[in-house]
Chain A
Amino acid sequence: MNMPLTSAPEGDRRIDPFMISVLKSRFEAIVREMTLVVMRASRSAVIKNARDFSCAILTYDHELVTVEDALPIHVMSMDMATRPLTELFDDISEGDIFVNNCPYTGGTHHADLIMAMPVFVEGVPLFWVVALSHHADTGAPAPSTYLPFAKNIFEEGMHFPCVRIAENYEEKADILRIGSMRNRVPDLWLGDVRAQIGACRTGERRIRELCGRYGRETVLDFIKDWFDYGARAAKAAIQKLPAGDYTYSLAHDPVPGVADDGIPINVTVRVDPEEGEIVVDVRDNIDCVPGGLNLSENTCTGSCRIGVFNNLDESVPHNEGAKSRVRVEMREGSAIGKPKYPVGTSVATTNVNDRLMIAGNAVFSEMGAPYGHAESAFHLPAGVGVISGDDPFKQGKSYINQVFVGYGGGGANSGHDGWLTYCGPANAGLIQLDSVEVDESMYPILIERRGVKTDSQGFGEYEGAPGMDGVFYPLDHTMTVAYAADGKVNPPKGVLGGQPGGASDTVRIEPDGARVTLAEFSEENFAAGQKCEFTSCGGGGYGAPEARDPARVAASVNRGWLSLSLAREVYKVALREAGEPGLYEVDADGTAALRA
């Protein structure tokens, strides 16, 4: 049993200890139910399969109460999306619902529609229930929600900068009409919006019932005790870290015309164990770039926090109390900071944002082992592209959706290899690959192959996960694939002697078998007979390869992830056949000789 080193002095407690457990689980149940409504009722694959949505409960003054099953990146800064509501409106009433997808009013990027509903109890506003969903289309000029070349918001999709879409529990049809008119898949969009409305209304009703049952004062006392608990737990976790300033740098690949030399990212964390506080400082970064790769204030804040929480014990609750132990310092007008209106931010949740989260995970490795994570893969190789076209098996009906055929691997940490089905740091494996058969029955495509790419992991004492590669192609029509496959020039680095993971790549295979390497960030057409080959990045390694347990090396070979020759050359491990085809075991003497 853990002894409560930092438990609250009895006098500071407002409610019975068991009531904290009870109300914590009640609030979690409410968020879980909201999550289920979004998950089950939504239509786009990006929401249902990739779980690119989150629900949360905040106090009315924008303090984070609870997140359950959410994408961490969304909720660590959800307060920024609701805060402008109480500044911009002076008539917020029961039954109102607001949407916000504008990075200049606290949104993440144009495709994340953040919906918030106030919760009134006995006429007093006490909470916000929030449901964020990534929509399949936002009516941008190009058929994708990721537009690296969109210089400013006029080249992006529809913005809703804190707009009331329901009043007195009634949808405002005129506002919804604006959204669905400017959308390539209006039914999908409206269906997904209604799923969010359903979630908000569920959350609102449940919180009111909760306050009815336990009493408003008890619930409000719980919130204070709950935040105190979060702050204590985070403080205790931070106190275990070595004091100091740690800096880590990496760079997003060059994007022609937007950032010809790439986008360098510098992160400094200042750890103060005595105070139990961490400051994440990203002020030392370049100005905004003329494209969609700039971060929003929301994503920059969330990503800076996420790196810290990825490096603290998982049992630390992710509420306002814990958040209060992590401060973020950023600069206005920086690509990694607060963007300057009206610069483009359409790719603010992936790409540069991925790199920032990865830097936040990795900067802790500057403390030495066992701290920190190696770098991981990024979000948008062509295997996770947005595909579109006219379906020849459905009388030419248009389709557009993001597919999840194959994506990149996670970075290693001390004690563990990277997670294979990782995708990118925002959803970090909380995601599901598409079924080949489901994709092939839904879209007029064929997935010729997809799987683990041997030897693409970053080697190390603990290996990054390998990347995936594969080939898919359109059947009897022309298919467009939009992607932004960062990691070709600067693949994920290893830390503390670990090696980098494999690089990303995109190739068009012509009918005669000729291979044409495609641009790293692009929107490409594939005619019938042409095939799209994608390669995603492998994760970086942690620690020197020669220190890897030979049994783990043998396991990687037996899993088909590592070739025999690299086991010998990189890991200095000798393997021998183990009595059946394809199975190897460690040759202890041979390994000792190689490692001597």
Chain B
Amino acid sequence: MSYQVCIDIGGTFTDCLVSDPDGGISIFKSPTTPGEFEKGFINVLHVAAEGLGRSPGQFFSEIEMIVHGSTVSTNALVERKTVKVGLLLNEGHRDILVLREGPRKGAFQWKIDYPEPYVPIHLTHTVPGRIDARGRELTPLDETAVRAAAAKLAESKVEAVAVGLLWSVVNPVHELRVREILAEEMPGVPVTLSHEINPMPREYKRVIAAAIDASISPIVRRYIEDLKTALDAQGYGGELLLANCVGGMMPLPEMLRKPIYSVMSGPTLAPMAALALSDAPDIIVGDMGGTTFDVSALRDHQIIVTPDSMIHDDNLGIPKVDVRSVGAGGGSIASVDAGGLLHVGPHSAGARPGPACYGHGGTEPTVTDANVILGIVDPDYFLGGKMQLDRAAAERAVGKIATALGVSLQEAAYSIYTTSNHNMVAAIEEITVREGINPRDSYFVCGGGATAIHIAEMVDILGLTRYMIPRFMAGLSAFGGLISDIRREEAAVALTSDAAFDFDAVNTTLDALKAQGSAFLEDAGVPEEARGFEIAFMGRYEYQSFEIEVPLTIDGPLTPEHLPEMVEAFHRMHERIYSIRTDGDTVEFTSWKLRAIGHRPGQDMWSRFSLPAQQGETRAKGHRGVYSEQTRQIEQLPVYDLSDLGAGAALPGPCLVEAPTFTAYLKAGHDGVLDAQGNLCVTVDATRAGAIAVTTAQIPA
């Protein structure tokens, strides 16, 4: 046997997916071990060994590759436990991280303080020296001032330094010189230069990326070392790859060079999974867990990369696969306000105490409590029966909402259920509308443990007609890791416009990017024939202040004949995203991007699996009463056990489908069929579905 393994560390559980050469995939879970994530990592591998009937030693020797979505850098940022960082900026521009980018949230929210800068001012030093937008040196770098700043930072005992000088993306000479001086003055202290970590002409995003990168650099390094030590101790001799936030894997040395790329990398693997599971051009991926609903989308069967991810009050700076979180999960708390309006979330009962029905002392009504009352979740078969839920506690909690609204217990539970669904629908519309995707024409792929409980109604609201509940829904991100490429994204600035396009400068830039990409794939051991490159540019109309990304399909050096094609591609993308185009306006090109992609042997092993065909009729394992909002009655629905079913098994809605890691609720008009890989594929017959679906999210024609 030679296994491939993906380990995805989540907030509560560490997921492990193991694929074997026959395409079989098994899913294992073990509690996450905060503080010492490598422990949970090794633990879950032991759980997997046992599950596969192997001794740990045997199992570790049979794994050829482990891919890993780590959460160590995300946690450090979320919990504000990063290392002490110093920052060097231009004289006159000390407040880049104070002023940040982005408006105050909530027009009438006055009870807030202005956030503190990511790097405190006493650790932020400025030095004379200035380059302009055209790369000209207006003022030479004051090296004495750099040395003086270094002395102060050394005295403050910073563990890393970030450097962010204006226009270093056009002319990096000052930043490079600063690094040389810092190496002399503060030997051994890691330095991140803004033009290397995030080459874009927008200083806040470049500086914040450099600061974040520097602040997690020692943490990521320590974690990788601990992980290697732990794996060595188990006798592991295979390969180890780490997930990055641009939708792929990186070898360790590369991640150590740019640790910021490990931030929020786990959830970005979910859209990668969807990419493999469906051929549909536009796909929505929704992952509902205990506290959040994470949503992402694929446009034209490509992942969407956003420049706008946030962590606390700051932008992450670097581009990242667009995954948005809203506070809508199984633990989201319902309340009724002074005017009598019901709200669900964003506050959550979290993992502890969790929903009232968990019996850990929670008394607030949550979405999971509502689902128990509605009959969708079986209190006796939660997590495959591993955890008993307390229905009476759920009733007490939801009863408070029923009293406040003056409705029955079931009606209150349904109100919570549907309000939560509408909150998630709003998040889906936000990402699809923003990215020029019509949700009605999209395919929906479910991820996470709770999504399949809510998917049917969300789909009816959105007006979708097809969706998938994958066999490994509960570990969708880990599945994404198992099948994803080696990938890196590089960018460089070359400002020009179609009025006077600078072919030499752009071709030089693209050649340099390709050389970097090839070197990366070479280092990662990717053979020539398994390499691929994707090129794109960031463009805007003259006087627009935000750019959009436009893929470039031209191979080889750019020539004047290519220009009309590039300009047209920009107009088309602008129209797709913003619904208008302005032919004849000047198009400006700001930066250029290259994605280097390496295909891994074995990443498609999963597709060799086929589920034996269904023999005979599909039989329900029983029936359960589920509240119907249409009849306002409890209706008896058949309950199917996924493990009893073969490929081609038909599951007409309304019905419930149970598996050890999830429950699916298919409403009337939602008809499921198990495909050859064991995924539950559902089509919606709108004429039979409860509501005639209308979406409010579509780009105007």
Complex contact A236–B338 (CB within 8 A): yes
**Nearest chain B residue, comparing its CB with the CB of A136:** B543
Q: Given A29-B429, A420-B99, A441-B133, are A213 and B337 neighbors across the interface (CB < 8 Å)?
A: no
Complex contact B102–A430 (CB within 8 A): no
Residues of B within 8 A of A70 (CB): 107
Partner pick for B418 among A18, A32, A188, A429, CB 8 A cutoff: A18
Complex contact B579–A210 (CB within 8 A): no
Complex contact B166–A437 (CB within 8 A): yes
| Interface flag for A201 (CB, 8 Å) | yes
Complex contact A41–B103 (CB within 8 A): no
**Nearest chain B residue, comparing its CB with the CB of A433:** B99
Q: Given A421-B104, A440-B132, are A21 and B341 neighbors across the interface (CB < 8 Å)?
A: yes
Residues of A within 8 A of B692 (CB): 212-213
Partner pick for A33 among B112, B156, B429, CB 8 A cutoff: B429
9 residue pairs, one from A and one from B, having the closest CB atoms: A449-B92, A7-B340, A582-B122, A429-B104, A233-B339, A18-B415, A451-B95, A314-B108, A213-B694
**Nearest chain B residue, comparing its CB with the CB of A30:** B696
Q: Which of A141-149, A158-166, A190-198, A261-269 contacts B (4 or more CB under 8 A)?
A: A190-198
| Interface flag for A355 (CB, 8 Å) | no
Q: Given A21-B422, A30-B696, A421-B104, are A45 and B543 neighbors across the interface (CB < 8 Å)?
A: yes
Q: Which of B36-44, B399-407, B446-454, B517-525 contacts A (4 or more CB under 8 A)?
A: B399-407
Which of B117, B155, B418, B580 has most chain A Cβ within 10 Å? B580
Complex contact A451–B98 (CB within 8 A): yes
Residues of B within 8 A of A25 (CB): 422-423, 426
| Min CB gap B128→A, angstroms | 11
Which of A198, A310, A373 has most chain B Cβ within 10 Å? A198
**Given A20-B342, A237-B338, 11 other A-B residues pairs in contact with their CB atoms under 8 A:** A22-B419, A32-B430, A45-B543, A48-B544, A72-B107, A198-B700, A438-B201, A558-B120, A559-B116, A560-B94, A582-B122
Bits for A219-238, please: 1 = Cβ < 8 Å to B, else 0.
00000000001101100110
Residues of A within 8 A of B340 (CB): 4, 6-8, 17, 229, 232
Q: Which residues of A contact B (CB under 8 A)?
A: 1-8, 10, 16-18, 20-22, 24-26, 28-30, 32-33, 36-37, 40-41, 43-45, 48-49, 51, 70-72, 187-188, 191, 194-195, 198, 201-202, 205-206, 209-210, 212-213, 229-230, 232-233, 236-237, 309-310, 312, 314-318, 373, 393-394, 399, 401, 413, 415-422, 428-438, 440-442, 446, 448-452, 465, 468, 470-471, 475, 555, 558-560, 580-583
| Min CB gap B224→A, angstroms | 30
Complex contact A582–B342 (CB within 8 A): no
What are 25 A-to-B residue pairs whose CB atoms are below 8 Å? A1-B336, A1-B364, A16-B411, A17-B405, A21-B341, A21-B418, A24-B341, A29-B696, A37-B579, A45-B545, A48-B546, A205-B698, A212-B694, A229-B340, A314-B106, A314-B110, A417-B114, A434-B545, A438-B202, A448-B92, A450-B93, A555-B116, A580-B122, A581-B156, A583-B156
Bits for B425-438, please: 1 = Cβ < 8 Å to A, else 0.
01001100110000
Complex contact A41–B578 (CB within 8 A): yes
| Min CB gap A22→B, angstroms | 6
Complex contact B339–A451 (CB within 8 A): no
| Interface flag for B414 (CB, 8 Å) | yes
| Min CB gap A593→B, angstroms | 26
| Min CB gap B118→A, angstroms | 13
| Min CB gap A7→B, angstroms | 3
Interface of B is mostly: loop
Residues of A within 8 A of B106 (CB): 314
Complex contact B430–A449 (CB within 8 A): no
CA distance A22 to B423 in the complex (A): 9
Partner pick for B201 among A195, A420, A437, CB 8 A cutoff: A437
Instruction: Report the interface size for chain B: residues with CB under 8 A from the other chain.
Output: 91
Residues of A within 8 A of B138 (CB): 446
Residues of A within 8 A of B695 (CB): 209
| Interface flag for B498 (CB, 8 Å) | no
Residues of A within 8 A of B202 (CB): 435, 437-438
Residues of B within 8 A of A417 (CB): 113-114
Complex contact B122–A581 (CB within 8 A): yes
Complex contact A430–B107 (CB within 8 A): yes
CA distance A493 to B367 in the complex (A): 48
| Min CB gap B394→A, angstroms | 15
Q: Given A22-B419, A582-B122, are A43 and B203 neighbors across the interface (CB < 8 Å)?
A: no
| Min CB gap B90→A, angstroms | 9
Complex contact A437–B156 (CB within 8 A): no
Which of A51, A191, A422, A429 has most chain B Cβ within 10 Å? A429
CA distance A48 to B540 in the complex (A): 13
CA distance A488 to B43 in the complex (A): 67
Q: Given A25-B422, A213-B694, are A72 and B108 neighbors across the interface (CB < 8 Å)?
A: yes
**Nearest chain A residue, comparing its CB with the CB of B405:** A17
Complex contact A314–B94 (CB within 8 A): no
Q: Given A432-B102, A559-B121, are A1 and B580 neighbors across the interface (CB < 8 Å)?
A: no
CA distance A380 to B110 in the complex (A): 23
CA distance A578 to B85 in the complex (A): 17
| Min CB gap B397→A, angstroms | 10
| Min CB gap A56→B, angstroms | 13
Residues of A within 8 A of B419 (CB): 18, 21-22
Complex contact A43–B111 (CB within 8 A): no
Q: Given A45-B545, A420-B98, A451-B95, are A37 and B700 neighbors across the interface (CB < 8 Å)?
A: yes
CA distance A471 to B107 in the complex (A): 30
Complex contact B541–A436 (CB within 8 A): no
| Interface flag for B351 (CB, 8 Å) | no
CA distance A378 to B545 in the complex (A): 24
